[in-house]
Amino acid sequence: MILGSIVSCLLMIAIGDNIARGIGIVGSLAIIRFRTNLRDPRDLVFLFASLGVGVAAGVQSYVTAIIGAVIFCLVVVVLYISPFGTRRKYDGLVRFQLPLQPQALATVTTIM
């Protein structure tokens, strides 16, 4: 949530009061959101951050792009170092290959 607020602030500064920029950013955010298969919301925040820096540089607001990228990276480093919001969660995938005999399936079913 902290990173998302920084990205939204960067985008709002880059948009300014220009309606065309706002509509363009909404369209590009929608394309990224619905076309990208991401498992972690944090990955999506990093995509939005790169989009925000790119938009700021694209509208020739280089100071905003540089300051936004530096602040975002500093906050990422601070959040990485600090124990704020940490959860120990490990995702894993176990795949079995079984012979086609029905006794093998029954054996695995009883074990599981």
- The more confident residue out of 33 and 56 is 56
Q: Which residue has the tokens 């975002």?
A: 72
Look up residue 61 and give its DSSP letter: -
| pLDDT reported for residue 38 | 67
Length of the chain: 112
CA angle 17, 20, 22 (to 5 degrees): 65
The predicted model scores a pTM of 0.66
How does pLDDT run across 61-105, given as a tens digit for each residue?
Answer: 899 899 999 999 999 999 888 877 666 667 777 787 777 777 887
Indicate the domain borders of the chain. Answer: 2-81
